[in-house]
Amino acid sequence: MYAIVEIAGQQFKVEKNQQIFVHRLEGEEGANLDFDKVLLIEDGSNIKVGTPVVAGAKVSAKILSHLKGDKVIVFKKKRRKTYRVKNGHRQYFTKISIENITA
């Protein structure tokens, strides 16, 4: 059984007991979350597609940790103009574990 759910503006294909990284969510470590924007649920050969969401469906998850991603270097240069800019960025993520999918 899997579901396609919208979390923090992005769509994820999730299954029970799966761990995923999403953009930083509000909440403490160990807190439980419910996501109501379920776009599709597949259970064996039975598929429910929402218009735009499946009515009454929800995905329960648990926050495992808050962390930062790897550093991404942004380097801009214009040749022969003595223009060079170097910036770094680290994205904030939340690691969540999918506890339950209910239709």
Model pLDDT for residues 33-83, shown as the tens digit of each residue: 999 999 999 998 899 999 999 999 999 999 999 999 999 999 999 999 999
Give me the half-sphere count of Cα atoms (radius 13 Å) on the Cβ side of residue 82: 0
How many domains would you assign to the chain? 1
pLDDT at 26: 94
In the sheet with 92-102, reading across from the earlier edge strand, the strands are: 19-23, 92-102, 58-68, 32-35
Residue 13, domain extent: 2-102
Res. 103: pLDDT tops 90: no
